[in-house]
Amino acid sequence: MPESSQINARTDFLNKLPGAPASVLLLDYDGTLAPFHVERDRAYPYPGILPLLGAIQQTGRTAVIVITGRPVEEVQALLQPLAGIEIWGAHGLDHLLPNGTREQVPIDPSLTHALQRAEEWLHSQGMSALAEVKPGGVAVHWRGMSEDQIQEIRSSTLQGWAPLAEPKGLKLLHFEGGIELRVTRPDKGDAVGAVLRDLDLSVPVAFLGDDLTDEDGFRKLAQRGLSILVRNEYRETAATSWLKPPQELTSFLEQWLRRTSIS
């Protein structure tokens, strides 16, 4: 991805903000707003990020929305003291609106049963400590382990879960530091699409993410807004720009704040 085209894409987008009465900032959490941490409940945002997001929100001209694979409650706890943030949790299965209203997508009972069997299989293999059970999915985390351990856990889990992933409606998802068996829909692209459906085409929208699961959101935003890969090392992506955290991420948010603070 040529650096000049990335800079131009960001500059062109940011230059739209001063004249726009409304804008939308869509953000993944882990790896985007916060560095990865072996203890997931300690994966706090990069220094300075929360005050910046709070200031952007307080301008009254930007809706700040988090779209994450985490459950809503986990993100709420990690974003404190920010309040009134719209959150799409569990890849869009669980939706918390700024006014506190909660909307959840129902899951087919047969898929719920398959996920329960996936959890039971992990328990039978002595891998419960690596498991995360959340709405619509069961994940295995191996962050912080040796490469040999990772390969063994990945291979064993893929073999054990493969039969459970065969029914239509479930998929195996690889992400940074683990693997998840989850419902096929919704995904982050569906969450981005739901946000876009309620917006006028003139409203500037950006989505920042780092993981393979964010690619659905990047593709959904194609030709409609700015998509940014936030990652220390570049990888192939559908995003139109790339930022390294935390300095370049912080700089981008500071520029967003300056432009939306112009009266």
- The count of domains in the chain is 2
Out of 165, 183, 201, pick the residue that ends a domain: 183
pLDDT higher than threshold 80 for residue 17: yes
Closest by alpha carbon to 166, among 129, 211, 117? 117
> pLDDT band at 263, cuts 50/70/90?
low
Cβ atoms of residues 236 and 249 within 8 Å: no
Residue 223's pLDDT band (cuts 50, 70, 90)? confident
Same domain, 80 and 128: no
Range of the domain at 117: 109-183
- On whether both 35 and 89 belong to a single domain, the answer is yes
Q: Stretch 234-260: mean pLDDT, rounded?
A: 96
| CATH code for position 30 | 3.40.50.1000
Taking residues 38-50, report their average pLDDT.
92
pTM for this prediction: 0.91
Specify whether 84 is located in the same domain as 205: yes
User: Looking at 127, 152, 183, which one is the last position of a domain?
Assistant: 183
